[in-house]
A = this chain, B = another copy of it.
Amino acid sequence: MNFLEVVQARRSLRSYLDKSVEREKLEYILESARLAPSWKNMQCWRFIVVEESVGRQALAESMGEDNPGRKALIGAPIVIVLCAVPSESEVWEGKDYMMLDAGLAMEHLLLAATEQGLGTCWQGLFGEEKARKALNVPANVRVVAMTPLGYAAEERRPRPRKGTAEIVFHEKWGQ
């Protein structure tokens, strides 16, 4: 798969097979995240690999009861939780590069998983304090996002995107 094919293949998948993920695939996707670029190379990201069902259940309970992500976290063999250390990034002119850096490392992880035939699903709508307690994350570290990881039991069509002319300008804004 070339890069665009990987991007095109990524979907938000919430149903998973009862099938474990090979260790070498897990290592491959974590390595892809580890090598992400970051603000002044400070690498604010941390990943917690949650495989025990008690941990995945607790993370699911950090979400609203009607959040379809709950089912994904309980049903997938692995949940990967993205944390970020604010002191290992900076806010510059009001822009929080911690969120940017953490996000792109996580996206490396999701794209690597997609290439390896695994399903993922970005999850941001959870209660941070509940997730923090479930995983003993220190008070000075943010819990930013999480994703289920496993072999998906569903296929999905791509969601719509804005057209190129809506998001790409030339030389100046709006042109």
The contact of A48 among B100, B141, B173, by CB within 8 Å, is B173
The contact of A107 among B45, B55, B107, by CB within 8 Å, is B107
Tally of A interface residues using CB under 8 Å: 74
Docked CA distance A95–B138 (Å) = 17
Please give the count of copies of this chain that the complex contains.
Answer: 2
Asked if B161 and A35 sit within 8 Å, CB to CB, the answer is: yes
Given A43-B161, A99-B100, A115-B3 in contact, is the A36-B107 Cβ separation under 8 Å? yes
A96 interface residue per 8 A CB criterion? yes
Which of A7-15, A64-72, A148-156 interfaces with chain B? A7-15
Docked CA distance A47–B173 (Å) = 9
Tell me whether chain A's interface is mostly helix, strand or loop, or mixed: mixed
Closest Cβ of chain B to A98, distance in Å, is: 8
Chain A positions near chain B (C-beta within 8 angstroms): 2-4, 6-8, 10, 12, 28, 30-32, 34-37, 39, 41, 43, 45-52, 55, 83, 92-93, 95-97, 99-104, 106-108, 110-112, 115, 122, 124-125, 127-128, 135-138, 141-142, 144-145, 158-162, 164, 167-174
> Beyond A30-B168, A97-B124, A136-B174: 11 further Cβ-contacts under 8 Å?
A30-B164, A34-B162, A37-B107, A41-B160, A45-B167, A50-B170, A95-B96, A103-B103, A104-B106, A111-B111, A135-B172
